[in-house]
């Protein structure tokens, strides 16, 4: 159910419930008010006593007499002149019937005892009675309006909080959040808004970190290029010029590689629909491992695959990149051995990639998936830009999976990837 449908349904129920309950209450109190009861009883008593007059008496003279001394109008008609089967039946049962007429006129009917005549008494209701009706009607609408206001006030308050949070964010107060109760009509909207703020805040943070990291990564090769160009301008030795030119080419290649990595990393942030289809992880892992064996001949690769493979619904291209990055990373930091295994649970595929390198300290295990983060230690040569694992993490997140790092049975690092087998709705 959409947000607009939820708000409409709640407001509809509030209005209808208010009308029914308040209307019932107002009607109950009005019908049972003492003045109305006393007046109606007096009218009924009058017509009841009058209708018991003796059959022998002249009704025309009785009616004339009572019309002269009473402020109400009496008349006598034949029972056959009364229309309406249910009305006639009630009169035959000796009941007193009251009917509301035009111009605030109330008419009472009572069959004369022993005769086929019906006594009618027309009563002009007092203005005070009309004022009483108007009072109850105004009270009814006021109570309904109050109930609707009491429902809409929290809604307006929560919407104002959303507006204030948006204004605060516009003023670069990125920590602003919307706090509403779980029962609020806009709770889902507030949660979505907070998630949006979290996402935007994280993107701003990532952008700042990436700008800093890129400037840091570019500073070294650009400095070397500048130094090489200065050396070339100050020498005529062809051997030195050739050496510095080769150095410049290497630095340019390093910059190009960084740009390519950045483009690949940025592409994962785009909200492009995944090209999901059924794939076989066993074949993919086996194929990638065989290729790496040829490229990294000095490392020993072992692979463990289940006898029965299960299909997984995923973007094959992205998953291949993620597994390849993990294998390449393991090949870089392993001393001698890299192990890859695949297993299945009821709903997930579990991929383990481990090596016999130095491993990863616990304090770094969450940070290694951040862009441009690298663990630096004395004597280590630079191995990449710190984007490989960040790309893996983004790909796994896109597939609603998870990735973690632990200590390997080979005493190095163990990367554990869990991917759902079925498509997420």
Distance set, CA 31 to CA 28, 95, 132, 233, 301 (Å): 5, 20, 11, 109, 92
CATH number at residue 223: 1.10.287.130
- Residue 288 and residue 244 share a domain: no
Among candidate residues 211, 244, 267, the one where a domain is terminated: 267
In a domain, 379, yes or no: yes
Tokens of 308: 């029965």
pLDDT band at 186 (very low <50, low <70, confident <90, very high): confident
Contact 323, 361 (CB under 8 A): no
- Residue 288 and residue 404 share a domain: yes
Looking at the 3D structure of the chain, how many domains does it have?
A: 3
pLDDT of 387 > 50? The answer is yes
Model pLDDT for residues 29-46, shown as the tens digit of each residue: 656 554 444 555 655 666
Contact 327, 340 (CB under 8 A): yes
Q: Which residue has the tokens 């059959």?
A: 55
In a domain, 288, yes or no: yes
pLDDT band at 424 (very low <50, low <70, confident <90, very high): low
Distance set, CA 236 to CA 239, 245, 246, 248 (Å): 9, 13, 16, 17
- Residue 410 and residue 351 share a domain: yes
CA 200, CA 370: separation in Å to the nearest integer? 17
CB atoms within 10 A of CB 325: 22
In a domain, 254, yes or no: yes
Model pLDDT for residues 114-164, shown as the tens digit of each residue: 778 888 888 776 544 556 667 777 777 788 788 777 777 877 888 888 888
- Residue 191 and residue 90 share a domain: no
pLDDT band at 425 (very low <50, low <70, confident <90, very high): very low
- Residue 284 and residue 254 share a domain: no
In a domain, 15, yes or no: no
Model pLDDT for residues 74-121, shown as the tens digit of each residue: 788 888 887 777 777 887 787 888 777 666 677 888 887 777 888 888
CA 298, CA 125: separation in Å to the nearest integer? 110
- Residue of 43 and 185 predicted with greater confidence: 185
What pLDDT shows up at residue 385?
A: 64
Among candidate residues 110, 125, 140, the one where a domain is terminated: 125
- Residue 401 and residue 289 share a domain: yes
Read off the pLDDT of each residue in 319-327 and give the average, rounded to a whole number.
Answer: 89
In a domain, 170, yes or no: no
Contact 10, 1 (CB under 8 A): no
What pLDDT shows up at residue 422?
A: 77
What pLDDT shows up at residue 35?
A: 47
What pLDDT shows up at residue 271?
A: 47
CA 280, CA 231: separation in Å to the nearest integer? 55
- Residue 215 and residue 298 share a domain: no
> What secondary structure does DSSP assign to 19-36, as a single string?
HHHHHHHHHHHHHT-HHH
CATH number at residue 67: 3.30.450
In a domain, 158, yes or no: no
- Residue 380 and residue 249 share a domain: no
CATH number at residue 285: 3.30.565.10
- Residue 38 and residue 110 share a domain: yes
DSSP structural state of residue 345? -
- Please, what is the average pLDDT of the chain? 78
In a domain, 79, yes or no: yes
Contact 82, 91 (CB under 8 A): yes
Read off the pLDDT of each residue in 369-389 and give the average, rounded to a whole number.
Answer: 66
Model pLDDT for residues 226-246, shown as the tens digit of each residue: 888 888 888 888 888 888 888
In a domain, 38, yes or no: yes
Tokens of 365: 């295990």
Tokens of 394: 């983004």
What pLDDT shows up at residue 129?
A: 55
- Residue 262 and residue 354 share a domain: no
- Residue 297 and residue 235 share a domain: no
pTM: predicted TM-score of the whole model, two decimal places: 0.51
Among candidate residues 231, 247, 267, the one where a domain is terminated: 267
Contact 10, 183 (CB under 8 A): no
Contact 242, 231 (CB under 8 A): no
- Residue of 58 and 341 predicted with greater confidence: 341
Give the domain extent around 203. 187-267
- Residue 391 and residue 288 share a domain: yes
């Amino acid at each position: 159910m959409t947000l607009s449908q939820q708000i409409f349904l709640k407001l509809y129920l509030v209005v209808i419930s208010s009308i029914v309950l308040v209307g019932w209450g107002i009607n109950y109190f009005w019908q049972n008010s003492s003045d109305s009861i006393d007046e109606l009883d007096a009218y009924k008593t009058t017509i009841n006593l009058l209708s018991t007059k003796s059959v022998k008496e002249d009704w025309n003279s009785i009616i004339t007499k009572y019309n002269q001394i009473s402020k109400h109008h009496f008349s006598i008609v034949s029972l056959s002149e009364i229309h309406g089967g249910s009305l006639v039946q009630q009169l035959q049962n000796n009941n007193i019937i009251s009917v509301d007429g035009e111009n605030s006129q109330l008419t009472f009917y009572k069959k004369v005892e022993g005769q086929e005549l019906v006594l009618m008494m027309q009563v002009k209701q007092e203005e005070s009675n009309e004022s009483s009706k108007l009072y109850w009607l105004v009270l009814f609408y006021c109570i309904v309006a109050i109930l609707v206001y009491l429902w809409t006030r929290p809604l307006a308050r929560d919407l104002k909080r959303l507006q204030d949070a948006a204004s605060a964010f516009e003023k670069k107060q990125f920590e602003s959040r919307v706090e509403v109760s779980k029962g609020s009509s806009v709770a889902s909207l507030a949660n979505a808004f907070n998630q949006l703020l979290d996402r935007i805040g994280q993107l701003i943070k990532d952008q700042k970190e990436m700008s800093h990291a890129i400037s840091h990564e570019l500073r070294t090769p650009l400095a070397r290029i500048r130094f090489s160009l200065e050396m070339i301008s100050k020498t005529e030795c062809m051997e030195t010029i050739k050496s510095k030119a080769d150095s410049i080419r290497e630095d340019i290649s390093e910059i190009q590689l960084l740009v390519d990595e950045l483009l690949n990393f940025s592409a994962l942030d785009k909200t492009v629909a995944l090209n999901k289809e059924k794939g076989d992880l066993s074949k993919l892992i086996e194929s990638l491992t065989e290729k790496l064996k040829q490229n990294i001949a000095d490392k020993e690769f072992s692979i463990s695959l289940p006898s029965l493979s299960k299909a997984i619904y995923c973007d094959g291209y992205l998953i291949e990149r993620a597994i390849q990055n993990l294998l390449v990373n393991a090949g870089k930091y392993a001393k001698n051995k890299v192990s890859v295994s695949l297993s299945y649970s009821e709903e997930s595929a579990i991929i383990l990639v481990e090596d016999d390198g130095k491993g990863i300290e616990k304090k770094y295990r969450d940070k290694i998936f951040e862009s441009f983060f690298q663990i630096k230690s004395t004597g280590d040569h630079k191995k990449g830009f710190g984007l490989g694992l960040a790309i893996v993490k983004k790909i796994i997140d896109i597939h609603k999976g998870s990735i973690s790092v632990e200590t390997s049975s080979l005493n190095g690092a163990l990367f554990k990837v869990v991917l759902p087998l079925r498509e997420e709705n």
